[in-house]
Amino acid sequence: MGRYVQLVMGPAGSGKSTYCATMMTHCQNIGRSVHLFNLDPAAEKFEYNPTIDIRDLITLEDVMEELQYGPNGGLIYCLEFLLNNMDWLEDELGEYEDDYLIIDCPGQIELYTHFPIMRRICECLQRMHFRICGVYLLESQFIQDNSKFFAGVMSAMSAMVSLEIPHINVLSKMDLLGKFKKRELERRAQIIVSYTCILS
């Protein structure tokens, strides 16, 4: 069948972990072999225990304590440490030949827009013969405010351009929109689609 990956990205609080849990439930219900890979060294709670966990290699708490880094610097250090120890990841992924992998990524969007870390991780996964699709979540409440909406669209576009992998934008938490006009929702969602089509 092959090796497939969903790289689940987006700002902190956009619903990535909830999305991952929903996908895990769906795949298990249809009998698809699926595994959750936690790529966030600061994560604490999961609805599904991850099969692969970067915290088995390095944790943000240890980095902050030992190196006196702040949260953002510590996170970058952790992911660079992973890149320098890709043999650990290859060993962890080696036994999942025909399985589906969902990667729950950290919420710092700088990792996708300002640093080449996530791109290098994608390149390493591709060398391991994984087919990768990026899923970028953006909280739907952002579309109610013009500045937040365009900031969200630009961050999604920046991640897509930086990673150069097939990319899907997802508006999450639709139930929190309340009485926002459906026509305005459709118009703004079409803008996101247009950006995706132009840059594909």
Task: Say if residue 75's pLDDT is above 60.
Answer: yes
How close are the terminal C-alpha atoms of the chain, in Å?
Answer: 26
Structural domains of the chain sorted by starting position, each given as residue range(s) with its CATH number in brackets: 3-199 (3.40.50.300)
- Cα dihedral 89, 92, 94, 100 in deg (nearest 10): -100
Cα→Cα distances 167→93, 107, 136, 149, Å: 23, 17, 7, 18
The pTM for the full model equals 0.84
User: What is the overall mean pLDDT for the chain?
Assistant: 84
126-156: per-residue pLDDT in tens? Answer: 988 899 999 999 887 777 777 887 788 888 8
